[in-house]
Amino acid sequence: MSDRALLGDEAVALGAMHAGLSSAYGYPGTPSTEIMEFLLEAAKTGGDDVHQAHWSSNEKTAFEEALGASFCGRRVLITMKHVGLNVAADPFMNAALLDIKGGVVLAVADDPGMHSSQNEQDSRYFADFAMIPCLEPTSQQEAYDMTRSAFDLSEELSVPVMIRLVTRLSHSRAAIKSSEPRYQNKLNKADGRAGWTLLPARARRRYTELIGKQEKMIFLSEESTYNTMKTAVDSGRCELGVITTGLARNYFDENAGEISVSYNHLHIGQSPWPVRKIRTLMDSSDRLLILEEGMPFLERYIRGIGSDSMPIDGKLNGKVVRQGELDPDNIREALGLPARPALDFDPGALPMRPPQLCRGCPHEDSYNFIKEVVEHLEQSIVTSDIGCYALGVLPPLEVPETVVCMGASISMAKGAAEAGHPNVMAVIGDSTFYHSGLTGLVDCVADQAAVTVIIVDNSTVAMTGGQETMLASARLPGVIEGLGVEKSHIHVVDALKKVHNENVAILKKELAYDGPSVIITVRECVETLRKKINAAAGAAK
Amino acid sequence: MKYDIILCGVGGQGVLSVAAAIAAAGASEGLHVRQSEVHGMAQRGGAVMSHLRLSDDMIPGDLVPRGGADMILSVEPLEALRYTKYLKPDGICVSAAAAFENIPNYPALETVISRVESLPNSRLVNAGALAKDAGNRRAVNMVMVGAASTFLPLSQKTLESAITSLFSRKGDEIVKMNIKAFRSGRDS
């Protein structure tokens, strides 16, 4: 098959399609979004053997929808960012106990360096926690190849398999070679219920099975072509043993030509850890350097408690940068190599240019009326949530006081109101509301909490590039009324300067009400609008 | 042959299209290409930077090391200065001259310009005016591809066909305008 220049994310998508993918579900989240976007685009072509691809309300529903398709014997892919896996943790952990016949592959994209995230948690811990294999590509080609392998591995072991991506690979483009596509699995519902009904007695048996599979998983890691050992020419004892995982290999290779001591190099792309290979490396080296993209996960495993048999350098003793992304320069430093000759130039003091709301963004108008109300109150709390509107934290708006995780605005507001604080407001986007806000609002209704929820409805998932919100904007008031918020305390207003004073008045009135109220501020995202206009203009030509 | 480029500007200025055009041209000339992009929150009106690597041999990773860039190609002069640590001692900085002022503490433009000019190898381009002449202020990015093109190890022909396919779905007029912008940058 011919070469195609693909993002790491797109290579995963194509790998899944060529592995006979039947269904894909996910929730948008940087840096994972482009996997599903590629699959959605590809699904438009139609045809007999085309896959299903759908955005879901959140990562948990996505995972469960995929499990339903796997129960029918189909191959399924679930996509999300690292923190999304926290939301999907319940089905994810339990899926490891199921008797998987239709391959289940979870593509999860971590964000070391927090380019677009609220933490840099390392999903490999989750794979280990669930006791399933994890494949970690280092190039777009591997992203394609490993995704194909992951489906085979999932069906061979009857467990879900994780593909762990990171931002740099997800969002870097290179040409890949694809191979012959495979047909989809036929519809073939799981036989016998014992493997899919996790009642305690049956779950115990399934857990025994899962534990029993570990030996085979480790064996497959030992044999895996993704775990490669490069020994020094004389293949004797080396001064240095290097273990790389993930993108660390690329940055190591970038610098390896300049290493003056003899070294052996083990790269690990498939876990659980190939214990024998690691042992071989340790036995043939005087000291060890562990380079892994993410948290010091392998390093902790190897160090154990006081395993002082050999000197080990890594993130835990500060030889490798602990936080943020690896790059060719910090790996160079870890290898003890001098900095490359660079330009001797002082650019002077440069002001930062942080991300900010687009010009004309509707969120600005929403925050402006909230800000005016807040400025006239002695005490108030404004919680906020995950999305573009989190940028309202920065000057000049500086309105939200909390941004924690998807949906937390409403639930935290309830907690604050019930702690006795007056004038509590929660700011949440329309898509985030469907993701994790609904349940918090039900809690508010149940206890008649004095919370005013402001849903900033820009009718899109803006931060991730303008995916459609699950339900059309017009249905939002009905959903809220259905959850039990009294109709007289639901307001739909425009996010526009010209109705600023009216919006101020409504918010003041609702803050005086001792119960839950919702103000929906509506105006389409300017970026989504611009794209629509451009697309229409392109189509007209 | 190995040619590493740092591309930079402000989110919304079309840095990704600059990367896409040069990467596609490189690939069509049979080179290995690695191109790292910026998506998501980092993209919203903030400083954006992209790594682009061209080589006739395997490329180990997506990131250009510090002191490793043959070129900094920027659509904004302050952003060009932000990444000078990536430049090779004999590397060149090609930057648009006009400021994109969306921060309250943007330094005096003369200072920024004179700092760019004080680099050993630099080229400032009046890209705003050239883009306007070509028919669209937003084409600054393609003017800059043109200005960079005389230094790149790529032919004018492959760059122009890459630009053509990049904008083809937006219609003939947009393609023509971007080619015009490219040529005006190349001839500047």
- Please answer whether residues B100 and B10 qualify as being in contact, where contact means their C-beta atoms are separated by less than 8 angstroms: yes
Which of B39, B87, B115 lies closest to A171 in CB terms?
B39
- Please answer whether residues B114 and B83 qualify as being in contact, where contact means their C-beta atoms are separated by less than 8 angstroms: no
Which of A30, A173, A343 lies closest to B87 in CB terms?
A343
A69 is written with which tokens? 């398709």
Residue A464 pLDDT greater than 80, yes or no: yes
Residue length, chain B?
188
Q: What is the pLDDT of residue B39?
A: 75
Rounded to whole angstroms, the Cα distance separating B144 from A321 reads 36
A324: left (phi over 0), alpha (psi -120 to 50) or beta: left
Beta pairing, strands A312-313 & A285-292: parallel
A118 at interface of B, judged by CB pairs closer than 8 A: no
Distances (CA, A) of A229 to A136, A274, A326, A428: 16, 11, 21, 49
Nearest CA-CA distance, residue B64 and chain A, Å:
7
* Structure letter (DSSP) for residue A461: B
Residue length, chain A?
541
Q: Which residue has the higher pLDDT, A462 or A160?
A: A160
Instruction: Give the nearest chain A residue to B64 (CA atoms).
Output: A328
What are the residues facing B92 on neighbouring strands?
B71
Residue pairs spanning A and B at CB distance below 8 A: 173
Rounded to whole angstroms, the Cα distance separating A436 from A86 reads 12
Rounded to whole angstroms, the Cα distance separating A296 from A281 reads 18
H or E segment to which residue B20 belongs: helix B15-28
E strands, chain B, in order: 2-10, 32-36, 47-55, 69-74, 87-96, 122-125
Count the neighbouring beta carbons within 10 Å of the beta carbon of residue B121: 16
Which of A175, A250, A347 lies closest to B115 in CB terms?
A347
B142 at interface of A, judged by CB pairs closer than 8 A: no
A30 at interface of B, judged by CB pairs closer than 8 A: yes
Q: What is the pLDDT of residue A192?
A: 80
Q: Which residue has the higher pLDDT, A2 or A382?
A: A382
Q: Which residue has the higher pLDDT, A178 or A307?
A: A178
- Please answer whether residues A214 and A157 qualify as being in contact, where contact means their C-beta atoms are separated by less than 8 angstroms: no
**One-letter amino acid of B95:** S
Place of tokens 């909390």: A402
Q: What is the pLDDT of residue A233?
A: 65
| CA nearest to B18, candidates B94, B82, B102 | B94
A445 at interface of B, judged by CB pairs closer than 8 A: no
Q: What is the pLDDT of residue A1?
A: 42
Minimum mean pLDDT among A64-73, A234-243, A278-287, A449-458: which range?
A: A234-243
Q: What is the pLDDT of residue A322?
A: 96
Distances (CA, A) of A115 to A14, A36, A118, A332, B49: 25, 20, 9, 22, 12
The shares of helix, strand and coil residues in chain A, as percent rounded to the nearest 5, are 40, 20, 40
* Binary contact (B106, A351; C-beta < 8 A): yes
Rounded to whole angstroms, the Cα distance separating A431 from A23 reads 22
Contacts with B, A 293-332, CB within 8 Å: 327-329, 332
Q: What is the pLDDT of residue A22?
A: 98
Place of tokens 């007209």: A540
Beta pairing, strands B87-96 & B69-74: parallel
Q: For the segment B93-151, what is each residue's pLDDT rounded down to a tens digit?
A: 999 999 999 899 999 999 999 999 999 999 999 999 999 999 998 899 999 999 999 99
**One-letter amino acid of A280:** T
Rounded to whole angstroms, the Cα distance separating A170 from A177 reads 17
Residue A541 pLDDT greater than 60, yes or no: no
Nearest CA-CA distance, residue B61 and chain A, Å:
5
Provide the b/e sequence for A110-130 (b: ≥16 CB within 10 Å): bbbbebbbeebbbbbebbbeb
Q: What is the pLDDT of residue A532?
A: 87
Q: What is the pLDDT of residue B42?
A: 62
| Percent above pLDDT 90 for chain A | 87
* Binary contact (A173, B64; C-beta < 8 A): no
A464 at interface of B, judged by CB pairs closer than 8 A: yes
What are the residues facing A443 on neighbouring strands?
none
Residue A94 pLDDT greater than 50, yes or no: yes
What are the residues facing A26 on neighbouring strands?
A55, A79
* Binary contact (A342, B10; C-beta < 8 A): no
B41: pLDDT confidence band, cut at 50, 70 and 90? low
Dihedral Cα B60, B66, B71, B72, nearest 10 deg: 120
Contacts 24+ apart (CB under 8 A), B100-104: B100/B9, B100/B10, B100/B13, B100/B75, B100/B76, B102/A353, B102/A356, B102/B10, B102/B45, B103/A351, B103/A352, B103/A353
Contacts with A, B 22-81, CB within 8 Å: 23-24, 27, 32-47, 51, 59-68, 78-79, 81
Beta pairing, strands A402-403 & A76-81: unpaired
A538: pLDDT confidence band, cut at 50, 70 and 90? low
Which of A169, A355, A541 lies closest to B46 in CB terms?
A355
Instruction: Give the nearest chain B residue to A535 (CA atoms).
Output: B170
CATH architecture type of domain B2-187: 3-Layer(aba) Sandwich (3.40)
Q: For the segment A310-333, what is each residue's pLDDT rounded down to a tens digit?
A: 899 999 999 999 999 999 999 999
Q: What is the pLDDT of residue A534?
A: 80
Rounded to whole angstroms, the Cα distance separating B168 from B157 reads 16
DSSP secondary structure string for all residues of A230-266: E--TT-S-EEEEEEEETTHHHHHHHHHTT--S-EEEE
**One-letter amino acid of A464:** T
* Binary contact (A391, B173; C-beta < 8 A): no
Q: For the segment A120-138, what is each residue's pLDDT rounded down to a tens digit?
A: 999 999 999 999 999 999 9
Which of B27, B88, B89 lies closest to A5 in CB terms?
B27
* Sequence spans of domains, chain B: 2-187
What are the residues facing A383 on neighbouring strands?
A402, A426
Instruction: Say which residues have a Cβ less than 8 Å from residue B20's Cβ, sequence separation at least 6.
Output: B35, B162, B166
Mean of the per-residue pLDDT values of chain A:
95
Distances (CA, A) of A148 to A73, A136, B35: 17, 13, 23
Minimum mean pLDDT among A90-94, A155-159, A322-326, B102-106: which range?
A: B102-106
Nearest CA-CA distance, residue B33 and chain A, Å:
6
